Chains A and B, each alone.
Chain A
Amino acid sequence: MFQSPPNVAKTIQITFEEKTYQVAPAQTVAAALMGEGHLMLRKSLVSGETRAAFCMMGICFDCLLEIDGQPNQQSCMIQVREGMNIQRQLKKGECA
């Protein structure tokens, strides 16, 4: 539901859910994933409903992802890095 700009140099490779993507540098993980068409980022801890980034400024904590083995990372606050490995958090009650 978001369109990436044309003519942008996608120089960083990240892995999301075992698939690799080339994305532009100097952007956050949540933004990079939305640019690749991934809106849904996790499931809620209580009911298991699908969730996505809501505020994009570190307030809502709805964009939590597992990044390089670290769970509950605010993906709207963390810049993409080469070789980053990102996983969704899909289990109920999965919170450190």
Chain B
Amino acid sequence: MSLPQYDYVIIGAGPAGMAAAVEARQHGLNVLVLDEQPAVGGQIYRNIEDLEEQRPDEFQKLGADYQEAFELAQRFRASGAEYRPGRSIWQIDPDLTLYHIGQDGGPSETCHAQRILIATGAMERPMPFPGWTLPGVLACTAADVLYKSSGLLPRGEIVLLGSGPLLLLIACRLLDAGVKIAAYLDTNPHLAPFQALPYLPKALRGHEYLRKGIAMLWQMFTSGAKVHLGVTGLEADGEGHLQKVRFQQGSAPWKELPADLLLLHHGVVPNIQITRQLGCEHTWYEKQRYWEPVLDQWGNTSIENVAVAGDSGRVCGSANSVLTGRLAALETARALGKIDLAQQTALAAPLLKKQDQELAIRPFLDTLFPPRHPWLVPKNEETLVCRCEEVRVREIRDAVRLGALSPDRVKPMVRCGMGPCQARMCGLTVSEIIADERQVSPADVGYFRVRSPIKPVTLGQLTGVE
């Protein structure tokens, strides 16, 4: 049996994956890039090549970082790395054999890597509330994807809910495109700005981000959208699709709004499906309440020859993703004997300096937008937590009371995490609910054991796997 062999297999063609591929090719490595999406750019720079070519006016509006990302995409295309779009990983073996399938339903393919880089980015943090499965309720990044990839704009009564810079950014992008936003429900705790204050001096080193943030706030507050601050509760309602939302601020009476679309955002969390399946060590990041793989400065995980770059490590944004991608590629070039330690150190020095500058604002942002409790653990016990198997808060609490003290114990009792999404949408909430019920930290409760296949594979696709 002879599998296709690569020095370096990179999973993900977003900013981190593309930057790593370009760097690795410069040092003569044989590189394969597998990406689930049909085009390069990841989620943040989704459809970037097509946008630049087909919709130049809209591309210009997206700003200077899109120009830079477009140039990165061009360098990636010219790098000589083998690029396979539309491929999903469903298993990686400890010897770094990778199994992947296409969106076309074709047979599974297998290859082998000397070293692997996981650059699978981040995903929206799911925060359940009653009615969040109704058609018309979407993640705010879904609206962004629809705009960038298809030019679709929301219409009707549009309500945004959540907190954080990405929600503001997407809101402002919609406003720029002429969309009228009816209401903006901000869930950030009133105290958060005071708690973030100690981190402000350091954050001033990233003043360009602060300036952008203030400009976006100004645009939102003057846009004509009704802004409601300190929102602590939400319900979506409608017959077959969203028709209205009800919300509460603190202990004030509930208010109702008509709504055709509800766009949600509670920050993003690392996509750790692959690092979990591989068995990499993870740790609980308390400030943003998510799991992240344990990494060194080169992105190395606890498993030899497996590294992580970009937001699938810790969520730090696209500019940092590019830097971590390049650092990881330098480590691989050294590990495979293409450069020596002195060369690696010299090449990394300017990248590490830039990274220090880039990360200056993160402690401020991570404190300013804390995921807060009424959203992490829904108060309404009938709220669906697991969308696939339709498991409610009450059922999970009951399982804990019966002695199931971890997600893997709760899972066989109530089926949460056993549907096609394989706990991507409920995993964090299940850990939070168990922790809440037990009055301990999610760090003590742990997460689901993620097993292969991490994407649904048909028997037909499996035939032919060697």
Chain A residues engaging chain B, CB cutoff 8 angstroms = 1-5, 8, 24, 26-28, 31-32, 34-35, 39-41, 44-47, 49-62, 64, 70, 72-74, 77-79, 95-96
Contact, CB under 8 Å: B149 / A27: yes
Surface stretch bound by A, among B107-115, B138-146, B246-254, B401-409: B138-146
Given contacts A28-B150, A34-B146, 6 further A-B contacts (CB under 8 A): A3-B153, A4-B152, A5-B152, A57-B141, A60-B425, A77-B38
Contact, CB under 8 Å: A52 / B123: no
Query: Closest CB of chain B to A55's CB: distance in Å?
Result: 5
For B311-350 the 0/1 string (1 means CB < 8 A from A) is 0000000000000000000000000000000000000000
User: Within 8 Å CB of B155, what residues of A?
Assistant: 1-3
Q: How many inter-chain contacts with C-beta < 8 Å in the A-B complex?
A: 134
Chain B residues engaging chain A, CB cutoff 8 angstroms = 36-38, 43, 47, 50, 86, 88, 103, 105, 123-124, 133-139, 141-142, 145-146, 149-156, 240-241, 260-261, 271, 387-390, 419-421, 424-425, 456, 458
Contact, CB under 8 Å: A60 / B387: yes
Q: In whole angstroms, what is the CA distance A60 to B145 when docked? A: 15
User: Within 8 Å CB of A53, what residues of B?
Assistant: 138, 142
Q: In whole angstroms, what is the CA distance A51 to B123 when docked? A: 20
Query: Closest CB of chain B to A4's CB: distance in Å?
Result: 6
Contact, CB under 8 Å: A46 / B133: no
User: Within 8 Å CB of A52, what residues of B?
Assistant: 134-136, 138, 241
Q: In whole angstroms, what is the CA distance A58 to B331 when docked? A: 30
Given the interface contacts A56-B141, A57-B145, does A2 sit within 8 Å of B389 by beta carbon? no
Q: Which 9 A-B pairs have the closest CB atoms?
A: A52-B135, A5-B151, A56-B142, A46-B390, A61-B420, A31-B150, A2-B152, A56-B145, A27-B150
Q: In whole angstroms, what is the CA distance A39 to B260 when docked? A: 11
Q: In whole angstroms, what is the CA distance A30 to B217 when docked? A: 32
Q: In whole angstroms, what is the CA distance A24 to B152 when docked? A: 11
Query: Closest CB of chain A to B88's CB: distance in Å?
Result: 8
User: Within 8 Å CB of A31, what residues of B?
Assistant: 145-146, 149-150, 152
Contact, CB under 8 Å: B37 / A77: yes
Contact, CB under 8 Å: B142 / A54: yes
Contact, CB under 8 Å: A39 / B135: yes
Given the interface contacts A46-B390, A60-B421, does A79 sit within 8 Å of B135 by beta carbon? no
Given the interface contacts A2-B155, A3-B152, A34-B146, does A61 sit within 8 Å of B134 by beta carbon? no
Contact, CB under 8 Å: A26 / B50: yes
Contact, CB under 8 Å: A40 / B135: yes
Q: In whole angstroms, what is the CA distance A50 to B242 when docked? A: 11
User: Within 8 Å CB of B86, what residues of A?
Assistant: 77
5 contacting pairs across A/B (C-beta < 8 A): A2-B153, A24-B151, A39-B136, A56-B142, A96-B458
User: Within 8 Å CB of A96, what residues of B?
Assistant: 456, 458
Of B50, B105, B154, the contact of A1 (CB 8 Å cutoff): B154
User: Within 8 Å CB of A28, what residues of B?
Assistant: 38, 149-150
Contact, CB under 8 Å: B421 / A59: yes
Q: In whole angstroms, what is the CA distance A6 to B285 when docked? A: 45
Query: Closest CB of chain A to B439's CB: distance in Å?
Result: 30
- Closest chain A residue to B137, Cβ basis: A54
- Closest chain A residue to B259, Cβ basis: A1
Q: In whole angstroms, what is the CA distance A79 to B102 when docked? A: 12
Of A24, A26, A44, A56, the contact of B138 (CB 8 Å cutoff): A56
User: Within 8 Å CB of B88, what residues of A?
Assistant: 58
User: Within 8 Å CB of B142, what residues of A?
Assistant: 53-57
User: Within 8 Å CB of B150, what residues of A?
Assistant: 4-5, 24, 27-28, 31-32, 34-35
User: Within 8 Å CB of A55, what residues of B?
Assistant: 123-124, 138-139, 141-142
Of B47, B271, B419, the contact of A61 (CB 8 Å cutoff): B419
Contact, CB under 8 Å: A2 / B141: no
Query: Closest CB of chain B to A54's CB: distance in Å?
Result: 6
Q: In whole angstroms, what is the CA distance A67 to B385 when docked? A: 28
Given the interface contacts A1-B261, A55-B124, does A61 sit within 8 Å of B139 by beta carbon? no
User: Within 8 Å CB of A74, what residues of B?
Assistant: 103
User: Within 8 Å CB of B149, what residues of A?
Assistant: 26-28, 31
Q: In whole angstroms, what is the CA distance A28 to B36 when docked? A: 13
User: Within 8 Å CB of A77, what residues of B?
Assistant: 36-38, 86, 103
Q: In whole angstroms, what is the CA distance A15 to B145 when docked? A: 23
Q: In whole angstroms, what is the CA distance A11 to B138 when docked? A: 28
User: Within 8 Å CB of A35, what residues of B?
Assistant: 150, 152
